[in-house]
Structure 1
Amino acid sequence: MIGWNALLLLAVAAAAPAQPPPLPTPPATIPSPAQVMAVPADARAVLQEKVMRMANSPEQRLQRLVELVFRPEGAGLALEYDTEATLTVAETWHQRRANCLSFTLLFVALAREIGLEARMQEVGQVVTWYEDQGLIFNAGHVNVGMRVDGRPATLDLDSNVLYDRRGPQPISDARALAHFYNNRGAEHLAMHDTANARAYLQASLQMDPRFVAAWSNLGVLESRENDLDAAAKDLETALSINGGHAPALHNATKLYQRMGDTARVAQLQAQLQRRQRSDPFYQFLQGAQAEKKADYAQAIDYYRRAVRLYDRAHQFHFGLARAYYLSGNNRLAEHEMARARDLGGSEQLRSVYQNKLDAIRRLEARHAAR
């Protein structure tokens, strides 16, 4: 009967919009949306002195703002990248550290403060998932979208990130705040602080009732609290919104294994395998793991699948070139390194790939001369 209930939940959730659970009175540590986005008074003063007084056109203001955020201490914020720093705008300003979400919130808030048109953008996938303390986290990505004198631009804290095929898509402030609260909830979940985790995850769903990552994480929380029926409902809701969401598929599989629902487990595993076969990021990560184990034949197989699924990712071609080289196939390594060079985004990166390509060619020439 558990399997039928799970299928029924899936059908019902698919037929009607997902409704967030009622929001309890949150702990005092949870900032309101206005508090998350608030620009502190000292930041406003700096913006007036270093940006507004020294720039007239929108382009000049944007350039001054970029310099303010990225320049070393004394001339700017000297902002440091910290993957765990899910901070409010004021906290980021004062602590001088940020992950991609905190940076995006900060930059958009500062840009709007000086009259620029700025918005948050979301990339559905940069890496499929990673595992930490037994939890599966979606490794999505956000960045800044700008429009200056009618021209669009994207600003990203991480210049090395690999976007999925769709690339950055504009999102509402509410969706960005859903990311913020979900990140905080996941952090508390990893610390086994279920009270704060629950409050943050429910706050995330109040911002966006269809935010799959928050439903998935809430399912994990309910499972930890041994409320398996509630966990199943949360995870089925997540999958009704996005049936290919890998973390939700993984978490639901673990839950139904625990519940002894072998039919649903088999169904979910089949869904997850289909998702993985069509996911270039998953194939790439599997290739990297095989390469670390010095299983270069398997690494080549995975990297080639990644390339077939997403041919324009220079990182995939570089991984394949490396695996070919380590397996002793310099000819194919040369071909893939040349492809990585051609796809490299910056002159500096293309130069790095060219140097590696030259080294392979020299090695191949020495072998040919023997």
Structure 2
Amino acid sequence: MRLRVLPFLLSAALLMADENPFEAPPELQAFARQHTMARHGVPAKVSALLKAFFAPPEEGGLGIIYDNAYTRTPKEAWRDRKANCLTLTALYVVACKSIDLEARYGEPLRISRWRRVGSTVRFERHVVAVVPAGSLGQELVADFLPEVRRDTQLIAPMEPKRVLALFHSNRAVELLAESRPEDALASAHRSIQVDPAMGVGWNILGVVQRAQGLDAEAEASFRKALAVDPRDGAPCGNMENLLRAQGRVEEAQTYRDRGLEIRKKDPFFNAFLAEEALGEGQLDEAERRIKQAIRLLPREPEFYWVQARVALARGRTKDAIKALEKARKWAQPEMQAQYDSKLTLLRNIKPE
């Protein structure tokens, strides 16, 4: 597939205060009806709709490509044919509602993600779309990367205002990375206005405030983040850094200890640190961290993929094969073929 290069689309836009970021594109309802009208039953309709999102334009689809450069609105995703997880979920929810299918947001309880944006390490909650399937208690989960499936993991309902607040906090981080601190501050404040009970929003507000030299305001925001969500370790690290820079070493150590206690129990944070260490060539640290992640969550295939890469970096092909075999074992059926191809390549490597 050939991609058009549109550099200006990679710049996060600042929304007006009264603008609804999740407003549906005008063409969306007709598109959704076109791809679902011949389908009978909720499962068939939502499956057809989801496939149409990713089918190439020559087959009548949108040809959407996953792109985490910045968090688009559904209208921007329609225009660019690019979107990240949150945007895809929002676009899918409004598409379902446009054809009178009930759809809501949800958050898988065992999944979290850490990502570096510029100099900021960001904790990202995973948002999915949930559609009742018609049978009592049966639901279909759309969790981009693209598929609709019944999922056995626990999914907590997520209010639309929280998803909207996450959108604004994402934008704040992206604008800060683009050296647009005033726009970032406006987006961070908007997140808090939408959902003042979301710790992530307060933490991002503190990060933006500190970047502007507003240390007192940043400290207050980090404390508020911890007050509304004591289990989030990200504000602890930010508080530690701020206090240490001010010479308040004992207070800083308190927050460092608190943050480490929280994060050591998060398998995804350990996996993130393993990938960071692997990228920096710190193989001992990478191996230690990914082992800890696997101890905490032994059925997560992505962890074994990281473990395989660490083993390969050490020249231990047999250990890499064992890790990939475990990744395949715990992967969703539709993902196992990807691991099969990797295993074939490794098994064909001849020892030196």
Q: Could you say whether these structures have the same fold, taking a TM-score greater than 0.5 normalized by the shorter chain as the test?
A: yes
Please point out which of 42, 64, 83 is paired with 1:98: 83
Cα distance, 1:241 vs structure 2: 1.9
**Who is 1:40 aligned against?**
25
| Change beyond 3 A, Cα 1:327–1:84 | closer
Cα distance, 1:293 vs structure 2: 4.9
Q: Distance in 1 between matches of 2:337 and 2:29?
A: 41
Map residues 1-370 of structure 1 onto 2, 5 A cutoff: 29-30=15-16, 32=18, 35-52=20-37, 54-74=38-58, 75-123=60-108, 126=111, 128-150=113-135, 151-158=138-145, 168-324=155-311, 326-327=313-314, 332-347=319-334, 349-354=335-340
Which amino acid counterpart does residue 253 of structure 1 have in structure 2? E
Please give the secondary structure, in 1, of the residue aligned with 2:141: strand
Q: Distance in 2 between matches of 1:231 and 1:290?
A: 29
Of the structure 1 ranges 57-66 and 261-270, higher mean CA displacement relative to structure 2 is found in 57-66
- Does structure 2 conserve the Cα–Cα contact (< 8 Å) formed by 1:125 and 1:140? no
**Who is 1:23 aligned against?**
none
Which amino acid counterpart does residue 199 of structure 1 have in structure 2? A
Please give the secondary structure, in 2, of the residue aligned with 1:122: strand
Q: Distance in 2 between matches of 1:135 and 1:278?
A: 21
- Does structure 1 conserve the Cα–Cα contact (< 8 Å) formed by 2:64 and 2:83? yes
Cα distance, 1:72 vs structure 2: 0.7
Of the structure 1 ranges 104-113 and 167-176, higher mean CA displacement relative to structure 2 is found in 167-176
Of the structure 1 ranges 58-67 and 136-145, higher mean CA displacement relative to structure 2 is found in 58-67
Q: Distance in 1 between matches of 2:101 and 2:159?
A: 17
**What does the per-residue CA deviation read over 1:66-109, in whole Å, with 9 as the maximum and x for residues that have no partner?**
23322111411111212134222222223322111111111100
Percent of residue pairs identical: 24
| Change beyond 3 A, Cα 1:220–1:318 | closer
Cα distance, 1:159 vs structure 2: 5.2
- Does structure 2 conserve the Cα–Cα contact (< 8 Å) formed by 1:182 and 1:214? yes
| Deviation beyond 6 Å, 4+ runs, structure 1 | 358-364
Of the structure 1 ranges 165-174 and 62-71, higher mean CA displacement relative to structure 2 is found in 165-174
Q: Pairwise CA RMSD of aligned residues?
A: 3.1
Cα distance, 1:247 vs structure 2: 2.4
Please give the secondary structure, in 2, of the residue aligned with 1:37: coil
Long gaps (5+) in structure 1:
1-26
Long gaps (5+) in structure 2:
1-12
Q: Distance in 1 between matches of 2:242 and 2:282?
A: 32
**What does the per-residue CA deviation read over 1:258-306, in whole Å, with 9 as the maximum and x for residues that have no partner?**
2221121010111122233222223223333444455544433322222
Of the structure 1 ranges 195-204 and 265-274, higher mean CA displacement relative to structure 2 is found in 195-204
**What does the per-residue CA deviation read over 1:31-66, in whole Å, with 9 as the maximum and x for residues that have no partner?**
546x323223322333344433x3453334323322
**Larger helix share, 1 or 2:** 1
Please give the secondary structure, in 2, of the residue aligned with 1:36: coil
Q: Distance in 1 between matches of 2:305 and 2:74?
A: 37
| Change beyond 3 A, Cα 1:103–1:362 | closer
| Change beyond 3 A, Cα 1:358–1:125 | same
| Change beyond 3 A, Cα 1:284–1:136 | closer
Which amino acid counterpart does residue 69 of structure 1 have in structure 2? F
TM-score after normalising by structure 1: 0.78
**Who is 1:7 aligned against?**
none
Cα distance, 1:145 vs structure 2: 1.2
Please give the secondary structure, in 2, of the residue aligned with 1:137: strand
Q: Distance in 2 between matches of 1:362 and 1:36?
A: 50
Please give the secondary structure, in 2, of the residue aligned with 1:41: coil
Q: Distance in 1 between matches of 2:184 and 2:215?
A: 17
Which amino acid counterpart does residue 176 of structure 2 have in structure 1? L
Cα distance, 1:166 vs structure 2: 6.5
Which amino acid counterpart does residue 281 of structure 1 have in structure 2? F
The higher radius of gyration belongs to 1
TM-score after normalising by structure 2: 0.82
**What does the per-residue CA deviation read over 1:95-125, in whole Å, with 9 as the maximum and x for residues that have no partner?**
3221111111111001011011111122467
Q: Distance in 2 between matches of 1:43 and 1:141?
A: 24
Q: Distance in 1 between matches of 2:336 and 2:56?
A: 27
Q: Distance in 2 between matches of 1:286 and 1:343?
A: 22
Of the structure 1 ranges 59-68 and 79-88, higher mean CA displacement relative to structure 2 is found in 59-68
| Change beyond 3 A, Cα 1:351–1:139 | same
